[in-house]
Amino acid sequence: MKFDVMTLFPEMILEYCNFSIMKRAIDNKILDINTINPRDYSLDKHKKVDDTPYGGGAGMVLMVQPYIDCYESIKKAENSITIMLSPQGEPLNDSLVNNLSNYEQIILVCGHYEGFDERIREIIRPKEISIGDFVLTGGELPALCIIDAVSRKLEGTLGKLESADEDSFANGLIEYPQYTRPREYRGLYVPEVLLNGNHKEINKFRLKESLKRTKQKRPDLYNLWLNRQK
Ligand code: 4HQ
């Protein structure tokens, strides 16, 4: 899968992807991360990419010309989607991540500090995605959230020991409690059931704990799970 990230700060994207599981997936050719900087497409003699808003008001607005010329320079695969990171977008969740993992190419449009000239949206017609109801200084972190979450769904990204179908949300529930050595720490013990090797009992315990936690911490997800069982 290829990600093309339009950003004024390409190093932010590339640096994150240069570590751990992301780096391994890139080295193994499962992933290709490319950045394109709209500043390189600015026709302004000072390489300007933003300007003051028509109608007045605080802040600056990202200019249509550098963003559109940058966007049009990207070679589009047949099965590709363009996403703009924005608090106005559809909230990111596990099912959206699964859908995105089926594309051959994902183009991510990041802004920074300021809003986009509305004509960028009108011309590109991107899908807009939000990572939550709060305001960030730029779209780079949300873009990385999408790159990271989608990448770990791709075959071969996670090793056997990091399987994606056992974590939170694989079954719509949050994770059961986990333990490793030692069996006792400051008087706190690992539950007996995990020590006896009875995998039927262990799975029963884990499901019960997942349900208990989800009901208590995320009643919204618990109700979705209940409805799915019908
Ligand atoms: N942004 N989820 C990028 C966000 C955001 C979010 C604000 C998007 C700043 C430049 N993006 N602009 N929340 O806060 O996706």
In whole angstroms, give the CA distance from residue 65 to residue 70. 8
Closest CA to 33 of 41, 23, 43: 23
Residue 227 has pLDDT above 90, yes or no: yes
pTM of the model: 0.96
136-187 pLDDT per residue, tens: 999 999 999 999 999 999 999 998 767 777 677 878 999 999 999 999 999 9
Q: What is the pLDDT averaged over residues 107-133?
A: 96
Put residue 99 in one of left, alpha, beta given phi > 0 → left and psi -120 to 50 → alpha: alpha
Closest CA to 93 of 18, 150, 33: 150
3-48 pLDDT per residue, tens: 999 999 999 999 999 999 999 999 999 999 999 999 999 999 999 9
Asked if 55 contacts 26 with a C-beta cutoff of 8 angstroms, the reply is no
Asked if 9 contacts 112 with a C-beta cutoff of 8 angstroms, the reply is yes
Measured by CA distance, the residue closest to atom 2 of ligand 1 is 130
Catalytic residues: 87, 114, 152, 167
Residue 49 has pLDDT above 80, yes or no: yes
Q: Are strands 2-6 and 105-109 parallel, antiparallel or unpaired?
A: parallel
Residue 50 has pLDDT above 80, yes or no: yes
60-114 pLDDT per residue, tens: 999 999 999 999 999 999 999 999 999 999 999 999 999 999 999 999 999 998 8
Q: Which atom of ligand 1 is nearest to the CA of 111?
A: 10
What spacing in Å lies between the alpha carbon of 53 and ligand 1's midpoint?
19
Q: Which atom of ligand 1 is nearest to the CA of 114?
A: 10
Asked if 81 contacts 100 with a C-beta cutoff of 8 angstroms, the reply is yes
| pLDDT at res. 164 | 73
The verdict on the CB of residue 112 being under 6 Å from ligand 1 is yes
What spacing in Å lies between the alpha carbon of 171 and ligand 1's midpoint?
29
The verdict on the CB of residue 134 being under 6 Å from ligand 1 is yes
Q: Which atom of ligand 1 is nearest to the CA of 110?
A: 3
The verdict on the CB of residue 132 being under 6 Å from ligand 1 is yes
Task: Tell me which of 50, 67, 85, 121 to substitute to probe ligand 1's pocket, judged by most ligand atoms within 8 Å of the beta carbon.
Answer: 85
| pLDDT at res. 225 | 95
| pLDDT at res. 161 | 67
201-216 pLDDT per residue, tens: 999 999 999 999 999 9
Identity of residue 206: R
